[in-house]
Amino acid sequence: MSTSNTFSILFLVNPKKIIGDKVIIYVRITVNQKRSTISLKRKISFHLWDPVKKRARGKSTEAKQLNQYLDQVQSRLFQCYQDLLFKGKLITAKLIKATYLGEVEESKSLQNLIDYHSRKTEHTLAQGTIKNFKITEGYIQKFLKVDRKTSDVYLRELDYKFLCDFENFLNSYYPKGHPKAMKHNTVMKHIQRLRKMVTLAYNMEWIDKDPFRRWKNTFENTKREFLSANELSNLETYEFPVERLERVRDLFVFSCYTGISYVDIMKLTLDHISIGIDRNNWIVTQRQKTKTPIRIPLLDPALELIKKYENHPMTMVSGTLLPVITNEKLNVYLKEVAILCGLKKNLTFHMARHTFATTVTLSNGVPIETVSRLLGHTKISTTQIYARVLENKVSQDMNALKGIIKQRKEVNTSQNPNAAS
């Protein structure tokens, strides 16, 4: 079978499509008698087009510039043909056209990747995660505009220097409404999201090399705030003058005793309460963020709050276990709660999960494996970030160890009196 190709490039205009006295210039690619046409989106006066030479007539500046452009198009198309020939591709007129227009995988751009990733994940990722990706995408666009003076780049242009420059850009960028630049871990999160998109492109063979192969994300250990046992007790027993703040406190305390996040608490109904293996009440639900199923035995403080709002007007209307409130308002009201209770910490609703992991569970001897499961984490390393053993727990454990060692020594002495002398 013959492997040679007949290949030709022809510029032409359509005299039947004259608008005013202007016609659009096209280029026709022919491979083995199969054609494909590209509109060059350039116009010329019909009487200035030479149908024999397939170029603009005359020596005017306009004619010279147009003919120079057509020469460049012809050279580019021939280069596309040569590249495909070198790669051993089955060459067609349509493939040359797609290569010229940047529609083949080798010509995919960063924006192509962002658009594809958005479509791929719009029904698989949680809304909060999608929102975070959108923020990262916005910073990528700002970086391209400010640093690269463009709106897009080919994926093949991504390299280690691109990543370093993007990191430097983020480190020096002051987000609108923020008093200072991003923190190190925030920068790393944005780069981590870019990495996930680029890894997708690499796995789909849109790029030959992974620009992240020598890159290492570095995260700083951050101090996770939580309430101590005394602070939690003060919060639980405080008499609020406003019912609105009491409801906010109750939602926070419920999370402290269940470890359930805001978005998952807002969806809880009576259908999520089941009788567990111990014949007690359990909450059985699924984390919106990770789709991980969670089963949580209800501690008495959490159960009391459910009973408190069982016939409350707000829950009767919403059909939920607890009153519904937006996350934004909840965190704003928590600032008022903290002031009234004399808490010096920056009280946020997510701090309740930290409190559950530390003060309520780990510090009371609950194994970290159990805490990880209760929190709905897929990896125990995630729990280790949230949960820290408190100093009083270390003290209790060491005192217990001292008692064990002392008791063991006393037993050995009673069994072997000579050893004491």
Question: Domain residues for 419?
Answer: 397-421
242 and 361 belong to one structural domain: yes
140 and 176 belong to one structural domain: yes
Backbone angles phi, psi at 321, to 5 degrees: -65, -35
295 and 382 belong to one structural domain: yes
Integer angstrom CA distances of residue 193 from 136, 207, 212, 231, 334: 7, 17, 12, 37, 31
> Are 146 and 172 spatial neighbours (Cβ–Cβ below 8 Å)?
no
Residue among 52, 63, 66 at smallest CA distance from 12: 52
Q: Supply the CATH number for residue 164's domain.
A: 1.10.150
416 and 291 belong to one structural domain: no
Tell me how far apart the alpha carbons of residues 266 and 200 are, in angstroms, rounded to a whole number.
34
Whether 79 maps to a domain, the answer reads: yes
Tell me how far apart the alpha carbons of residues 25 and 71 are, in angstroms, rounded to a whole number.
13
372 and 250 belong to one structural domain: yes
Count of domains forming the chain: 4
Kindly report the number of other CB atoms within 10 A of residue 113's CB atom.
20
Kindly report the number of other CB atoms within 10 A of residue 208's CB atom.
9
363 and 404 belong to one structural domain: no
pLDDT at 291: 81
183 and 332 belong to one structural domain: no
Whether 217 maps to a domain, the answer reads: no
Whether 372 maps to a domain, the answer reads: yes
Whether 213 maps to a domain, the answer reads: no
382 and 235 belong to one structural domain: yes
- Tell me which residues of the chain have a pLDDT lower than 70: 1-4, 104-106, 177-180, 386-394, 417-421
pLDDT at 419: 54
Tell me how far apart the alpha carbons of residues 210 and 117 are, in angstroms, rounded to a whole number.
17
Give the angle subtended at the CA of 261 by the CAs of 293 and 364, to the nearest 5°.
85
327 and 345 belong to one structural domain: yes
241 and 378 belong to one structural domain: yes
* DSSP 8-state symbol, 271: G
42 and 119 belong to one structural domain: no
